[in-house]
């Protein structure tokens, strides 16, 4: 691979793409998990890729986040051929328990419900990002430029020119397509004038890591409280990740408590099923928003991951939607390239938009509905949601449908996940 990050300037490879007037077939802006997954997913496409990430590699890895990784995402990583590098450092969950405050009806899903070995996984940020960084370094089709920043883009009918700041110098590359994987604020989406719809939630999210006294038994808990959903996810080394949603002021006050008081509050909501909890490291607070871009594509531009949509963290969907976006986009681009079509053409890119926009909207709506239904004590709503829980528990077809929807097995499955 072109080890661009080790040199002071980078030179685009002299490929057939170059001879046709382009330096790369596509430029991916953002080397977070979503951008790196797209670069990896294109390994057999025959397309040349420039991947540009603003943070230095070690800083990009060192993010105190962890994610539920759904079954479809695992299948996509298997298809790429990187799953065996990820699996040893993440934890499987084999049981999911969903409950509403102290209401005794608990819905419980197990592997037997869908005849799989695991229901899903929980991965810390570095357990996904690091193997992906290493993978793209071994890919001859990818030039990985890091740290470097895309500062300007000009769209033309036949190509897109991209100004990149790298090692204090500006360079310009020509490409057929830009893919924005540059996160929820997406300067590229904004500069292209793509509007978004959505809202900021009245809640913030506290994320913390704890070590329980007893085994976590590979169980994921989603407990709905009137202040917001509260999730406990199993991690390697018998640790757990807490995702605790509460109204802004309450979340800020909880974060300001000292460790002992915070643990007492946590234990009060968490119950005693895993014994005493030990707090590991710092707590982080995140704003929560729902956002859907009006368009995922323009001529020579595609948005993926958080650049295209954001959702409430209930159910751990956000990153998984981004992974599904890139598997879909990789398939569309690879098929178009094989037929000799122009991969930056809006008509080609609309195939990706048609595939992903509606599926993402369904999940955005589902997470919003869950949050609104459960984050209140209005009596008729309490009655309806408890009836819903009762039905989910008693009617197998509803129970299995909701599980499959949440873990990605209900939409169109990309070819990468079918290998």
Ligand X SMILES: Cc1cc2nc3c(=O)[nH]c(=O)nc-3n(C[C@H](O)[C@H](O)[C@H](O)COP(=O)(O)OP(=O)(O)OC[C@H]3O[C@@H](n4cnc5c(N)ncnc54)[C@H](O)[C@@H]3O)c2cc1C
320 counts as binding ligand X under rule CB under 6 A: yes
C-beta of 279 vs 381, nearer to ligand X: 279
Beta bridge partners of 220: 96
52 counts as binding ligand X under rule CB under 6 A: yes
84: CB partners within 8 A, 6+ apart: none
Q: How far is the CB of 6 from ligand X (least distance, A)?
A: 18
Site string for ligand X, 186-215 (x = CB under 6 A): -x-----------------x-x--------
C-beta of 174 vs 312, nearer to ligand X: 312
Q: Which of 330, 389, 267, 240 is nearest to 25 (CA)?
A: 330
Among 316, 344, 408, 414, binds ligand X (CB under 6 A): 316
C-beta of 18 vs 55, nearer to ligand X: 55
Neighbours of 207 (CB within 10 A): 18
Q: How far is the CB of 163 from ligand X (least distance, A)?
A: 10
Among 68, 160, 210, 332, binds ligand X (CB under 6 A): 68
Q: How far is the CB of 76 from ligand X (least distance, A)?
A: 13
Among 175, 203, 317, 375, binds ligand X (CB under 6 A): 317
165: CB partners within 8 A, 6+ apart: 148, 149, 151
Q: How far is the CB of 232 from ligand X (least distance, A)?
A: 12
C-beta of 234 vs 305, nearer to ligand X: 305
Question: Positive or negative CA dihedral for 258, 260, 263, 264?
Answer: negative
CA distance 206 to 188: 29
170: CB partners within 8 A, 6+ apart: 151, 163, 164
Beta bridge partners of 241: 209, 233
Q: How far is the CB of 53 from ligand X (least distance, A)?
A: 5
Q: How far apart are the first and last CA of the chain?
A: 26
Answer whether 337's CB lies under 8 Å from 24's CB: no
In this structure, which long-range contacts are made by residues 198-202, counting pairs with CB atoms below 8 Å and at least 24 apart in sequence?
198/289, 198/290, 198/291, 198/292, 198/310, 199/289, 199/290, 200/287, 200/288, 200/289, 201/287, 201/288, 201/289, 201/290, 201/312, 201/371, 202/247, 202/248
What DSSP line would sit under 206-263, residue for residue? EEEEEEESS--TTEEEEEEETTEEEEEEEETTTEEEEEEEEEHHHHHHHHHS-HHHHH
261: CB partners within 8 A, 6+ apart: none
165 counts as binding ligand X under rule CB under 6 A: no
142 counts as binding ligand X under rule CB under 6 A: no
C-beta of 30 vs 212, nearer to ligand X: 30
CA distance 286 to 251: 10
C-beta of 60 vs 263, nearer to ligand X: 60
Stretch that binds ligand X, among 63-71, 250-258, 385-393, 395-403 (CB under 6 A): 63-71
305 counts as binding ligand X under rule CB under 6 A: yes
Q: Which of 397, 406, 33, 74 is nearest to 231 (CA)?
A: 406
Among 33, 39, 41, 254, binds ligand X (CB under 6 A): 33
79 counts as binding ligand X under rule CB under 6 A: no
46 counts as binding ligand X under rule CB under 6 A: no
145 counts as binding ligand X under rule CB under 6 A: no
Among 2, 41, 60, 409, binds ligand X (CB under 6 A): 60
Q: How far is the CB of 184 from ligand X (least distance, A)?
A: 6
The interface with ligand X within residues 258-287 (CB under 6 A) comprises 286
According to DSSP, the β-strands at 239-247 and 169-180 are unpaired
Number of amino acids touching ligand X (CB under 6 A): 34
Answer whether 71's CB lies under 8 Å from 409's CB: yes
Stretch that binds ligand X, among 61-69, 94-102, 345-353, 407-415 (CB under 6 A): 61-69
Q: How far is the CB of 280 from ligand X (least distance, A)?
A: 17
Answer whether 329's CB lies under 8 Å from 352's CB: yes
29 counts as binding ligand X under rule CB under 6 A: yes
C-beta of 79 vs 183, nearer to ligand X: 183
C-beta of 256 vs 387, nearer to ligand X: 256
Among 182, 222, 359, 371, binds ligand X (CB under 6 A): 182
Binding site for ligand X (CB under 6 A): 29-35, 52-55, 60, 65, 67-68, 149-150, 181-183, 187, 205, 207, 243, 286, 305-306, 313, 316-320, 322
């Amino acid at each position: 691979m072109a080890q661009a990050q080790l040199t002071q300037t980078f030179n685009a490879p002299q490929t057939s793409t170059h001879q046709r007037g382009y330096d790369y077939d596509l430029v991916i802006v953002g080397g977070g998990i979503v951008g790196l997954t797209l670069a990896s997913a294109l390994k057999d496409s025959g397309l040349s890729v420039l991947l540009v990430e603003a943070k230095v590699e070690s800083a990009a890895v060192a993010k105190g986040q962890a994610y539920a990784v759904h079954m479809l995402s695992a299948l996509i990583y298997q298809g790429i051929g990187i799953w065996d590098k990820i699996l040893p450092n993440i934890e499987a969950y084999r049981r999911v328990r969903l409950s509403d405050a102290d209401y005794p009806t608990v819905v419980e899903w197990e592997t037997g419900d869908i005849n799989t070995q695991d229901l899903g996984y929980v991965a810390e940020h570095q357990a996904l990002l690091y193997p992906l960084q290493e993978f793209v370094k071994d890919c001859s089709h990818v030039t990985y430029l890091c740290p470097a920043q895309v500062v300007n883009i000009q769209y033309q009918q036949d190509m897109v020119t991209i100004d990149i700041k790298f090692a204090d110098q500006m360079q310009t590359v020509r490409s057929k397509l830009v893919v924005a994987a540059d996160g929820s604020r997406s300067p590229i989406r904004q500069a292209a004038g793509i509007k978004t719809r959505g809202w900021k939630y009245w809640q913030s999210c506290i994320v913390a890591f704890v070590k329980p006294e007893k085994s976590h038994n590979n169980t994921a808990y989603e407990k709905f409280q009137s202040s917001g959903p509260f999730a406990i996810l199993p991690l390697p080394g018998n640790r757990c990740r807490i995702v605790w949603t509460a109204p802004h002021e309450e979340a800020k006050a909880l974060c300001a408590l000292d460790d002992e008081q915070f643990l007492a509050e946590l234990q009060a909501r968490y119950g005693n099923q895993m014994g005493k909890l030990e707090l590991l490291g710092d707590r982080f607070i995140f704003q929560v928003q729902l956002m859907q871009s009006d368009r995922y594509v323009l001529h020579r531009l595609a948005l993926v991951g958080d650049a295209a949509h954001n959702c409430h963290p209930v159910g751990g969907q956000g990153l998984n939607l981004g992974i599904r976006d890139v598997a879909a986009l990789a398939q569309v681009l690879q098929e178009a390239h094989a037929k000799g079509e122009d991969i930056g053409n809006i008509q080609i890119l609309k195939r990706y938009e048609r595939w992903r926009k509606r599926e993402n909207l369904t999940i955005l709506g589902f997470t919003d509905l869950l949050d609104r239904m459960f984050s209140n004590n209005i009596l008729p709503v309490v009655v309806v949601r408890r009836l819903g829980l009762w039905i989910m528990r008693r009617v197998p077809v509803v129970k299995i449908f909701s599980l499959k929807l949440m873990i990605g097995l209900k939409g169109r499955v990309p070819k990468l996940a079918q290998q």
